[in-house]
A and B are shown apart, each in its own frame.
Chain A
């Protein structure tokens, strides 16, 4: 049995997801590839968004993929880290903003 849940080599097998459902797999990858094409946002900007989201959802495959993708695009360490702080700020903010709910409840019940 596999000793760890994640194996870096599995990232290269991502495309095999289609093997068990060709139709939906193909639709997903067509969509995926279309999403990352240059549109109103550049491919570079999309790569940075993907990197930030990868850290937010804590997907090791995605972090591996989009760190490498960023390097290939000439994205600097400073830009990558700044993008991560955006993810961190939103994630932290999401916890803290619920503090308003806590405060509302306390204010309602407390004397």
Chain B
């Protein structure tokens, strides 16, 4: 099994080193424009936060998988887990926010020992769209997780799960040996209780990340191919496919450098820059909360340790009006969200 950058004591486990790489080299020499300058060219700098719509909470970096592209550098060795105390602070915010979506992520969020309690409490707030980003294999990993689908159903959780391809080879290469088979089993269990079925309100969406140094194709076309293949081969239904671009952060950055694809990939991202996508990038309507309660413009900024540019820096200091209108913190990794049709945790943005 692949090891996390932290476990390998890689220099890229340090966010400062990643930021150095993203600011130096081709960007320092002006071979490629810095993201800030590109935004300015289209009169979109500084990028400002709008009204909060999505509160995304990362409840810990521990995961049963070690995916090759993971921007969290998640894995079984990661011990950063949100405490119940921080969860209580999050619940105070969940009760008062006007955001329409609550999005729990990780790692494998289900591995947080207080995950179920947190979901039960958060569900009481009645937020319209309550998302849990489940890696699917966790459902099959251990008996204690086997009833997760029923638990999700009970709390009307919107399940969003990663699936990089409809074939075993490509999926296992990105996410680890045996992941495809377990993911298929988990999807079948979810389907059996109503998740993802055509007329069902139990939402099941899949996330597609390219399994290599290339950008995602058209989201609608990929969704069509995924739906046909998963249905024909395994009888699986799901609702929507979100096509996400891999950002040059953490393990994907490590892969790009190790495979000598970094410069070409950054060129591809910059060439695909789309000012229309900038208008809807997720950092403008999302707030990301880290396992220790600090606030970030997005999950990627969280991993790069780029906190929000606001007086309210921690969930205990949350103030929706103070956070609205803040300047978004950017670096060259942001090109990943503005390439082509754009990319967000909800897929394309144009």
Residues of chain A at the chain B interface (Cβ within 8 Å): 12, 42-44, 68-69, 71-74, 76-77
User: Do the beta carbons of B212 and A71 come within 8 Å of each other?
Assistant: yes
Contact A44 B214, CB 8 Å, known A74-B165, A76-B167, A76-B170: no
Contact A73 B222, CB 8 Å, known A12-B271, A68-B214: yes
Q: Which B210-248 residues sit within 8 Å CB-CB of chain A?
A: 210, 212, 214-218, 221-222, 225-226
User: Do the beta carbons of B222 and A74 come within 8 Å of each other?
Assistant: yes
Further 11 A-B residue pairs, CB within 8 A, beyond A44-B221, A73-B218, A74-B225: A12-B271, A43-B221, A71-B210, A71-B214, A73-B221, A74-B166, A74-B208, A76-B165, A76-B167, A76-B170, A77-B169
A111 CA to B212 CA in the complex, in Å?
Answer: 62
Residues on B with beta carbons closer than 8 Å to the beta carbon of A12: 271
Residues of chain B at the chain A interface (Cβ within 8 Å): 165-167, 169-170, 208, 210, 212, 214-218, 221-222, 225-226, 271
Least Cβ–Cβ distance between A43 and chain B, in angstroms: 6
Residues on A with beta carbons closer than 8 Å to the beta carbon of B208: 74
User: Do the beta carbons of B214 and A72 come within 8 Å of each other?
Assistant: yes
A43 CA to B220 CA in the complex, in Å?
Answer: 12
Least Cβ–Cβ distance between A64 and chain B, in angstroms: 11
Task: Sample 25 A-B pairs with CB under 8 A, ordered by A number.
Answer: A12-B271, A42-B221, A43-B218, A43-B221, A44-B221, A44-B225, A71-B210, A71-B214, A72-B210, A72-B214, A72-B216, A73-B217, A73-B222, A73-B225, A74-B165, A74-B166, A74-B217, A74-B222, A74-B225, A74-B226, A76-B165, A76-B167, A76-B169, A76-B170, A77-B169
Residues on A with beta carbons closer than 8 Å to the beta carbon of B214: 68, 71-72
Which residue from chain B places its CB closest to the CB of A8 in the assembled complex? Answer: B264
Residues on A with beta carbons closer than 8 Å to the beta carbon of B217: 69, 72-74
